[in-house]
Amino acid sequence: MDFTGKIAISTGAASGMGLLFAQNWAELGGNVLMCDVNEAVLAEKVAEINSKGKGKALACLCDVRDYEQICAARDMAVEAFGKIDLLVNFAGGSACRIQKVDFKKHPEFPDIPIDVYNWGLDVNLKGPFFFAHAVMKQMREQKDGLIVNIGSIAGAEGSTGALEYAVAKAGVMYGLTKSLALYGAKYGIRCVCVSPGPVLTRSEMSRMNTLLGRAADPQEIIDLVLYLASDKAKFITGENIMIDGGRTIMLGGK
């Protein structure tokens, strides 16, 4: 694959899959705006990519909960690179995990402070929605573009603890992805969702069961995203693609 001259925005790009995507994209010749809230790590990762001398990376401090910061990120990409071919909405994660909720103190859904869930809904649902809204304006002018959302097995299965995560991911996988595809088609804009099962961006994900008996290597998820961004995938839109080692067809993941 060769993405020379192509421009991507990766959110949540300071770590995990957002970072791995940016590294792959630049390695394949593309330029990338890397958005994250973790400014220090982001700067270091951007410098690493640029030192390789292939595609260019640019750091953008951007909280996906903030529409003004998102619009500024979009404008930064267009000013620096002239257009946006691809947006990948990686930023996200379960609020209880990220906000380190103490389950001994807050054991069940009604006990967990609503602020935790509010944060999670903002990041995981409104983040991709807001980013798509801002970037669509640019893609509509270009009459071309691809938005890749990142869902999760949780959006298909539901969750008793990470309720907001399951709800947000379901919204992204189905409502948002289909609606953006429906709206974007007349402007040559596609939208696809990639929904992983457990991925080894964290070692504890290996504890989650799959039909194939293992969690995914993060590269396996990025390979699918790169395929979707390639000319070979031009006929795919409005689809949610599960990449979960067959977990969805197991009964309740057991």
Ligand X SMILES: NC(=O)c1ccc[n+]([C@@H]2O[C@H](COP(=O)([O-])OP(=O)(O)OC[C@H]3O[C@@H](n4cnc5c(N)ncnc54)[C@H](O)[C@@H]3O)[C@@H](O)[C@H]2O)c1
Q: Would you please indicate which residues are annotated as catalytic (active-site) residues?
A: 165
One of 7, 58, 91, 228 touching ligand X (CB under 6 A): 91
Residue 98 Cβ vs ligand X, minimum distance, rounded to whole Å: 7
Residue 232 Cβ vs ligand X, minimum distance, rounded to whole Å: 23
One of 10, 11, 159, 210 touching ligand X (CB under 6 A): 11
Query: Is 63 a binder of ligand X (CB under 6 A)?
Result: yes
Pick out residues in 124-183 that bind ligand X (CB under 6 A): 150, 152
Query: Is 21 a binder of ligand X (CB under 6 A)?
Result: no
Query: Is 64 a binder of ligand X (CB under 6 A)?
Result: yes
3-state secondary structure the chain: CCCCCCEEEEECCCCHHHHHHHHHHHHCCCEEEEEECCHHHHHHHHHHHHHCCCCCEEEEECCCCCHHHHHHHHHHHHHHHCCCCEEEECCCCCHHHHCCCCCCCCCCHHHCCHHHHHHHHHHHHHHHHHHHHHHHHHHHHHCCEEEEEECCHHHHHCCCCCHHHHHHHHHHHHHHHHHHHHHHHHHCEEEEEEEECCECCCHHHHHCCCCCCCCECHHHHHHHHHHHHCHHHCCCCCCEEEECCCHHHCHHHC
Applying CB under 6 A, the site for ligand X has a residue count of 26
Instruction: Please say which residue, 136 or 215, places its beta carbon nearer to ligand X.
Output: 215
Instruction: Please say which residue, 36 or 164, places its beta carbon nearer to ligand X.
Output: 36
Residues within the interface to ligand X (CB under 6 A):
11-12, 14-18, 35-38, 63-65, 90-93, 123, 150, 152, 196, 198-199, 201, 205
